[in-house]
Amino acid sequence: MAIDVRSGMVHDPVRRAGSNPSGERPAQPEPPVSKVFTLEGLLLCRGCGTSLQPVRMLGQRAYRGPCGCRLTAVDAEAIEQFVLKSVVAPAPGLVADAAPEELGSIFRRLFVAVRVGGCAQDFSIVWRL
């Protein structure tokens, strides 16, 4: 016996399980995207130079490029930690007492851009000097 997973019979029970009585899916409050991504506006695709955009994917923060160069998103936590370590190594005082919300503005003062390649570890920083 074959089941056509594209049929309405298969999807309707699943859709109803997550719906309110009117059949509509309840609105999911999305946390604000800005101010939690410390590299927003700085992170660029190394291949084409397009700015990577902050997104939430399955509850995780990430950066995605609309350019199509990248097949997967860059894990926001990973790239932000690598960049932070790059700042702390030569000048720990620059970020020593900074709250996480302040890091974005600190990075914007320090960097022109952060170019990322195939993974979060493959990045280069263009410093303001």
pLDDT tens track of the chain, all 129 residues? 444 444 444 444 444 444 455 555 555 444 444 447 999 999 999 999 999 999 998 889 999 998 888 888 999 999 999 999 999 998 888 888 888 889 999 999 999 999 999 888 999 999 997
81-94 burial, b for 16+ CB within 10 Å, e for fewer?
Answer: ebbbebbeeeeeee
Domain definitions of the chain by residue range: 30-127
Is pTM beyond 0.85? Reply is no
